């Protein structure tokens, strides 16, 4: 009975995204942990643009609860707001890409 009740609870964000500062050419990683797996319609966004898994953008999931986005080889124009959405849940954080001053 306890398991049944747990399955009917709405998932919540246990640990949300954190603001991240990186230098040009580095990787930026964002992680969001949910209370339990099975949340549908998981999507990552950067400044309102949906992100998809490719060479530059790595999207992964562990145990259905820990969702990770890694942006590789970032450029200044990648600075913006990263948003994670899983069903009704939303978490967002700022990405600041800093140029290297000589």
Rg (CA), the chain: 15
**Longest Cα–Cα distance in the chain:** 63
Candidate CATH numbers 2.40.30.10, 1.10.510.10, 1.10.3720.10, 2.60.40.10; the one for domain 13-98: 2.60.40.10
Contacts with 7 (C-beta within 8 Å, 6 or more apart), sequence order: 38
State residue 1's pLDDT score: 43
State residue 75's pLDDT score: 95
Helix (H), strand (E) at residue 15: strand 13-15
Token duo for residue 52: 């998809």
Q: pTM of the full predicted structure?
A: 0.88
CA 13 to centroid of chain Cα atoms? 12
pLDDT lower than 70: segments of the chain:
1-8, 101-102
State residue 78's pLDDT score: 96
How many H helices and E strands in the chain? 1, 9
State residue 43's pLDDT score: 97
């Amino acid at each position: 009975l306890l398991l049944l009740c747990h399955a009917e609870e709405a998932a919540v964000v246990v640990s949300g995204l954190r603001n991240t500062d990186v230098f040009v050419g580095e990787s930026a990683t964002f992680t969001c942990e949910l209370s339990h797996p099975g949340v549908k319609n998981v999507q990552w966004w950067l400044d309102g643009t949906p992100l998809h898994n490719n060479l530059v953008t790595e999207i992964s999931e562990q145990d259905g609860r820990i969702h990770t986005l890694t942006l590789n080889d970032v450029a200044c124009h990648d600075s913006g707001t990263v948003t994670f959405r899983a069903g009704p849940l939303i978490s967002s954080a700022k990405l600041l890409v800093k140029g290297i001053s000589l």
